[in-house]
Structure 1
Amino acid sequence: MADALEAFRASGSSWLTLPFFADGQADVVAARVDGRIAAGAQVLPAPDRIFRALRETPLQDVKAVILGQDPYPTPGDANGLAFSFVGAGRLPASLRVILAEAGSDRAAGGDLTPWARQGVFLLNSALTVEAGKSGAHLRYGWAALTDEAVRAVSDRPEPAVFLLWGAQARARAALIDADRHGVFESGHPSPLNRARDFPGSDPFGRANRWLAAQGRRPIDWRLG
């Protein structure tokens, strides 16, 4: 992963101003991940996709923020964007719920790259995972990047909307200046969420209405 980190640093991304990259935290995380690779673990996604959320949506372009947990642990499924699915199998259950709420045709697939390119920052709380081991890298130090990225968007003068789904994402509401930004919270889209408080919460419509009220172009949430 150290090579992926160096390639990202060479990109000149606006996210490189975060302390995570400037004070050595990123190098510590990279060393831990590379240690697992050296031990024989299969780390996902592919190295060129690890920082893809930051590459696709520069800090200055962020209009909306959606936080996930970590990449899909099946090889070939994740492409570096939270909830985005590019695998050959059936769409993950949470993503099916998300796309139904967004009014998107499932036949269009689950690649959320079109959202990212409209300014939707799709960031996972851990940018790496191990094959077959969901959550394996959640305690590797990636959370500092997530916290700093949320604060960086909140600190900008441009308004953005934060869609916080589930307990982990909602815990970061305290990092956001809700007087200047839109913050819409709900339960997680997972069918395992017994409260079932994501379907019908209209996060995408609420986000677009809020953006329009701030004079910002709404997002086309449909795929295909």
Structure 2
Amino acid sequence: MWGPVQSDGKDVLNPIWNQHKSAIEKCIEEEIHKYQIFPPLSSVFNAFTLSCPAVKVVIIGQDPYHNKGEAHGLAFSVQQGKMPPSLRNIFKELNREYGIMRTNTDLSDWASQGVLLLNTALTVRENCPGSHIHIWKPFTSEVIKMLGGMSGIVFMLWGKHAQQYECMIDNKNNLVLKHSHPSPLARKSFIGNNHFSQCNAYLITKNKTPITWV
């Protein structure tokens, strides 16, 4: 059906994907016949347009936006339309840290710099958040574990769902940043965490180019 996008002639996720491909494809094909799912199949693996060795930052989300025309394969990102509340709070924090209010809701420029915007479910039923977590979790958990075994990567874990993956990350050789979810419904405000500037400071210590966030 489809799979992670190839990079530089080879698919670094191929061994993991091959273990789960049949089960995932079967479930998704059944879902397509019954429900509207997002994002479009052509966008499901957009987060993997970068090869994993090029990843400098991993931001873990739960699942895609579940309204029509929003999700396009990158966690927290939307190509067009109304800005989701979580993304608005992310931009407020960027403005607090850098004094610039980002308005472009498409985070593809982050991805091109080595930010993996990874939802733990790569698809979702329309208006049904969390509906495909069980389908994708075995695959995305292994991806996170693989990345967590590398070194010099910044992991941003926002909220309890993302933080359950902390145990898969080698925090001696990577930087793990934890805070509340950017949703305005979170008990603790997302604003004030300084994650973006902390991330760049760490990347500089690893002789990596910092991310242009805004």
TM-score by length of 2: 0.91
Q: Per-residue deviation at 1:4?
A: 2.5
- The list of structure 1 runs, each at least 4 consecutive aligned residues, that deviate by more than 4 angstroms after superposition, is 7-11
SS at 2:13 equivalent:
helix
Q: In the alignment, what sits opposite 2:183?
A: 190
Cα displacement string for residues 48-83 of structure 1 (whole angstroms, at most 9, x for unaligned residues) = 10011012x210100000001111111111110000
For 2:112 and 2:168, how far apart are their aligned partners in 1? 24
Is there any run of 5+ residues in structure 2 with no aligned partner, and where?
Answer: none
Residues 161 and 183, structure 1, Cα contact 8 Å, conserved in 2: yes
SS at 1:76 equivalent:
coil
For 1:15 and 1:105, how far apart are their aligned partners in 2? 35
Q: In the alignment, what sits opposite 2:208?
A: 216
Q: Per-residue deviation at 1:87?
A: 3.1
Cα displacement string for residues 159-182 of structure 1 (whole angstroms, at most 9, x for unaligned residues) = 111011000111111111111001
Instruction: Report whether the alignment pairs 1:179 with 2:149.
Output: no
Q: In the alignment, what sits opposite 1:12?
A: 10
Rate the CA distance shift 1:22–1:4 in 2: closer, same or farther, 3 A.
closer
Rate the CA distance shift 1:70–1:215 in 2: closer, same or farther, 3 A.
same
SS at 1:14 equivalent:
coil
Q: Per-residue deviation at 1:26?
A: 2.2
Q: In the alignment, what sits opposite 2:64?
A: 71
For 1:189 and 1:155, how far apart are their aligned partners in 2? 26
Q: Per-residue deviation at 1:13?
A: 2.2
For 1:8 and 1:220, how far apart are their aligned partners in 2? 24
SS at 1:4 equivalent:
coil
Cα displacement string for residues 112-156 of structure 1 (whole angstroms, at most 9, x for unaligned residues) = 00000000000001000111212211122x112222111211223
For 2:32 and 2:145, how far apart are their aligned partners in 1? 31
Alignment partner of 1:147 out of 125, 132, 141: 141
Q: Per-residue deviation at 1:17?
A: 2.8
Is 46-55 or 143-152 further displaced after alignment? Answer: 143-152
How many residues are treated as equivalent by the alignment? 209
Q: In the alignment, what sits opposite 1:200?
A: 192
For 1:27 and 1:52, how far apart are their aligned partners in 2? 20
| 1:24-103 matches, cutoff 5 A | 25-39=20-34, 41-55=35-49, 57-88=50-81, 90-103=82-95
SS at 2:202 equivalent:
helix
Is there any run of 5+ residues in structure 1 with no aligned partner, and where?
Answer: none
2:27 partner letter: R
Q: Per-residue deviation at 1:102?
A: 1.8
For 1:153 and 1:36, how far apart are their aligned partners in 2? 29
Alignment partner of 2:18 out of 22, 29, 51: 22
2:144 partner letter: V
Cα displacement string for residues 85-134 of structure 1 (whole angstroms, at most 9, x for unaligned residues) = 1232x20000000011123534x321000000000000001000111212
TM-score by length of 1: 0.87
Residues 161 and 207, structure 1, Cα contact 8 Å, conserved in 2: yes
Alignment partner of 1:160 out of 153, 166, 173: 153
For 1:187 and 1:26, how far apart are their aligned partners in 2? 32
| 1:127-142 matches, cutoff 5 A | 127-140=122-135, 142=136
1:84 partner letter: S
